[in-house]
């Protein structure tokens, strides 16, 4: 199978060299989606044998994911692994995703920082843990899933399965739309444990999303909207809630 490792990147000059040099030990095909970086990141990327999509301006995490998926489809990759560029995802875990995919039976191999307590796990900021736990619980209740980590960006996706989806969410609420469509289109999901790494406790989302209440409201709105849009394809429990809300 042909594998692509895709890494959304925004102002990651501090970590870029370490991440890329390590990822290239585990992957033959690497795509960087530079989401309008204004630091030295665009100058560092040509030092490495990687493909690059460059956004002229910052267009959002979700847009970078969509670009990665389109690239994987057009270039006929079988699987695409997505991971962060800030050393919070360990490249050494890439073979675990490959092994899980090769075992067969799944379309999405989703990393979870909470599925198991691994040696060296960090303690994330408490408000991020609360938001993750709250939204993960809501997703599970609405969609009949049993996720432990709805927001981890370290994932492997079967490219043929991605062709069934019509994703469009460009921002940080991208996972809300993805999970709804994954269930609506019958994608088979497995979680595997990955290390919980927070090397920059001062990292922010930027703008209004730094406010926890605003961020939660956005996630819930995108989740609600996508459930309503996909209502006919979803399990009865999700459809009933959508219908009651619209009555």
Here the contacts of 50-53 (C-beta below 8 Å, separation 24 or greater) are: 50/20, 50/24
- Confidence check: pLDDT of 96 > 60: yes
Distance CA 60, CA 55 (A): 10
pLDDT at 142 over 70: yes
The pLDDT tens digits for 53-84 are 999 999 999 999 999 999 999 999 999 999 99
Sequence-distant contacts of 29-32: CB under 8 A, at least 24 apart? 29/2, 29/3, 29/4, 29/5, 29/77, 30/4, 30/5, 30/6, 31/4, 31/5, 31/6, 31/7, 31/68, 31/71, 32/6, 32/7, 32/85
Residue 129, pLDDT score: 81
**Is this structure's pTM higher than 0.85?**
yes
Residue 169 has pLDDT above 80, yes or no: yes
Residue 117 to residue 130: CA distance in whole angstroms: 18
User: For position 124, what pLDDT does the model report?
Assistant: 61
Residue 173 CA from chain centroid, whole number: 10
pLDDT, tens digit, for every residue of 104-122? 999 999 999 998 765 555 5
Which uninterrupted H or E stretch holds 190?
strand 189-193
> Of 126 and 243, which is predicted with more confidence?
126
| Sign of the CA dihedral with 154 first, then 160, 166, and 170 last | positive
Report whether pLDDT(150) > 90. yes
Mean model confidence pLDDT for the chain:
91
Residue 234 carries which DSSP code? S
| Mean pLDDT for the stretch of residues 91-107 | 97
Is it the case that residue 88 has pLDDT exceeding 80? yes
**pLDDT at residue number 209:** 75
* pLDDT band, residue 201 (cuts 50/70/90): low
3-246 folds as: Spore Coat Polysaccharide Biosynthesis Protein SpsA; Chain A (3.90.550)
Give the pLDDT of residue 26: 98
Task: Dihedral sign for Cα 118, 6, 55, 19, please.
Answer: positive
The pair of structure tokens assigned to 170 is: 């460009």
Q: In the chain, what are the domain boundaries? A: 3-246
């Amino acid at each position: 199978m042909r594998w692509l490792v895709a890494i959304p990147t925004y102002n990651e000059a501090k970590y870029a060299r370490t991440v890329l040099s390590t990822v290239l030990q585990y992957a033959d095909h690497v795509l960087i989606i530079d989401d309008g970086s204004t630091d030295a990141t665009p100058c560092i990327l040509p030092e490495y044998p990687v493909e690059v999509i460059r956004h002229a301006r910052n267009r959002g995490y979700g847009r970078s994911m969509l670009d990665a998926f389109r690239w994987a489809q057009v270039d006929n990759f079988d699987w695409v692994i997505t991971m962060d560029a800030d050393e919070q995802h360990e490249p050494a875990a890439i073979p675990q995703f490959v092994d899980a995919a090769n075992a067969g039976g799944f379309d999405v191999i989703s990393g979870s920082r909470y599925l198991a307590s691994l040696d060296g796990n960090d303690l994330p900021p408490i408000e991020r843990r609360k938001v993750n736990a709250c939204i993960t619980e809501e997703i599970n209740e609405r969609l009949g899933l049993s996720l432990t980590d709805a927001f981890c960006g370290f994932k492997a996706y079967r490219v043929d399965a991605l062709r069934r989806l019509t994703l469009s969410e460009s921002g940080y609420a991208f996972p809300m739309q993805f999970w709804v469509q994954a269930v609506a289109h019958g994608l088979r999901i497995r979680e595997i444990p990955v290390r919980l790494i927070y090397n920059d406790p001062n990292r922010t989302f930027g703008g209004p999303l730094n406010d926890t209440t605003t961020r939660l409201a956005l996630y819930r709105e995108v989740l609600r909207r996508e459930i309503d849009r996909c209502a006919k394809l979803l399990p009865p429990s999700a459809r009933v809630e959508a219908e009651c809300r619209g009555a």
